Structure 1
């Protein structure tokens, strides 16, 4: 899967190059500019590398990239912290995480944690974003995961291909793009996993919206996230979203959606649980 890594690296550089105007980096705009953003030769000049070498890099050729060059490219392309980390990961300068061993269930202790988050819809997902455990609140607010096929019990998949789940979100476009940004960062870590690569290709072929958002290579992640949904039974609900690594298994994440204070969301969750 090394070819996929180099292709991803080249696509990311092209996207970021096209987002910067010459004036932002102190270069003249010039005439007859046929491409948006910077030209390849301008990025090469700003980074202190040869045009041929940089062109090969964007073309996805198997080139070793040093940490020094990554830093130069990051400055030339005005990458923020998250984008810089993403570039390092793609260039294998930050040692990539080993492909994790995936599991389909959690132990009794973790399920107990979920069940005691009574009014907070919560679930646990693996590194592929498959939901492998959940509490009752998650079932009554977001989806009855027991009724969803195991192969489709994936947060990214549901956001784009499960109509009932997708239709919950009042600002679906913003929410889905946020999910894509977080998943893109995860994808860079596990790009050697054939399952994840095939999963992305499948989504690209099935869903135009996913294809559009994925092509933007956005890895900027908001630190504070509110989920606002329109539940078919109780109406508007707003949650604070938080994600936690599970200490004894770094490949699992606990997702907790806490009813936003000063709203009636907690009352509505309770009413759904009592039905």
Structure 2
């Protein structure tokens, strides 16, 4: 598989992105009325939407600089300025993501919700049973899961929503840790994958908060984190000591729902007939609530 190199300044790709960014900003500016942003409409106003100087004022940036941006000039754009412009133009989550993508920058304040988890995707996850499946983002937050996954490492339903993160659970939760057969190896692998993914999110508060929590709560994490190891995502067979149905031999596999470091569907596919039968039992126990009090 081949990947494209990022566009260099002055390249045709870079020029195309700047012009697309300019047209996008202009279209968003022209759709907003002065009243929407607390400005008074003058009697001689002919400009559709906002004027450039009004957007500049609302964003606390220079009028000349903003004009150059809409003229597709080859200028440097900071994420702070892009954030201010996005707020001034009242961009929704999709428009904001498009703005930062066109500018080739990472959003310093990405939306807390994941638009990838649609009702149809949730229904598909449920229908994958008895195969345990969930949706994770690149930070290992568990965004959605089916009944079998909810009981794969313990009782995920009983876990506070803010703690439903695989990194946090693998290093701090007793049930989760007891279910992992090769805990030291898993810790090293997860930390290496987390470090590789974090390279694109170093300035994001949510990533820094999770890292600080892990470093404060787990000496094991501090030790493996100090190794500075990195590894990419990939399929891997593993054993899980499930507290309800016994030992499981599964293949951990990823289905990417967007860019390679974005959200992904994670499934644990059985590798032998005994595991398949045990996962069916686990699905049934989880569905009727028995697993919550079993074992």
Query: Given the two structures, how large is their TM-score scaled by the length of structure 1?
Result: 0.60
**Residues 204/248 of structure 1: CA separation in 2 closer, same or farther (3 Å cut):** closer
Give the alignment partner of residue 204 of structure 2, picking from 170, 174, 193.
Answer: 193
Compute the displacement of 1:249 (Å). Answer: 11
Q: Which residues of structure 1 form unaligned runs of 5+?
A: 1-94
Counterpart of 1:234 in structure 2 is: 245
Aligned residues: 180
SS at match of 1:118: coil
User: How far apart are the structure 2 equivalents of 1:250 and 1:174?
Assistant: 22
Counterpart of 1:98 in structure 2 is: 107
SS at match of 1:170: coil
Bigger relative CO (Cα 8 Å, ≥ 6 apart) = 1
Query: Is contact 1:226-1:241 (8 Å) kept?
Result: yes
Counterpart of 1:137 in structure 2 is: 148
Counterpart of 1:252 in structure 2 is: 263
User: How far apart are the structure 2 equivalents of 1:124 and 1:222?
Assistant: 14
Query: Is contact 2:129-2:283 (8 Å) kept?
Result: no
Counterpart of 1:172 in structure 2 is: 183
User: How far apart are the structure 2 equivalents of 1:246 and 1:123?
Assistant: 12
Give the alignment partner of residue 183 of structure 1, picking from 173, 187, 194.
Answer: 194
**Superposition pairs of residues 1-275 of structure 1, within 5 angstroms:** 97-99=106-108, 100-103=110-113, 106-221=117-232, 223-247=234-258, 251-260=262-271, 262-275=272-285
Q: Which residues of structure 2 form unaligned runs of 5+?
A: 1-103, 286-295
Compute the displacement of 1:142 (Å). Answer: 2.3
User: How far apart are the structure 2 equivalents of 1:123 and 1:152?
Assistant: 15
User: How far apart are the structure 1 equivalents of 2:238 and 2:255?
Assistant: 17
Counterpart of 1:88 in structure 2 is: none
Q: Which is greater in Rg?
A: 2
Query: Is contact 1:96-1:189 (8 Å) kept?
Result: no
User: How far apart are the structure 1 equivalents of 2:257 and 2:270?
Assistant: 22
SS at match of 2:122: helix
**Residues 186/250 of structure 1: CA separation in 2 closer, same or farther (3 Å cut):** closer
Compute the displacement of 1:236 (Å). Answer: 1.1
User: How far apart are the structure 2 equivalents of 1:252 and 1:221?
Assistant: 14
The superposition leaves residues 163-188 of structure 1 with CA deviations (integer Å, 9 ceiling, x where unpaired) of 10111011111112111111111111
The superposition leaves residues 57-105 of structure 1 with CA deviations (integer Å, 9 ceiling, x where unpaired) of xxxxxxxxxxxxxxxxxxxxxxxxxxxxxxxxxxxxxx66435423168
**Residues 145/222 of structure 1: CA separation in 2 closer, same or farther (3 Å cut):** closer
**Residues 211/182 of structure 1: CA separation in 2 closer, same or farther (3 Å cut):** same
Query: Is contact 1:227-1:241 (8 Å) kept?
Result: yes
Structural RMSD (CA): 2.2
User: How far apart are the structure 2 equivalents of 1:230 and 1:178?
Assistant: 18
Which stretch shows the higher mean deviation, 242-251 or 192-201? 242-251
Query: Is contact 2:154-2:242 (8 Å) kept?
Result: no
SS at match of 2:252: strand
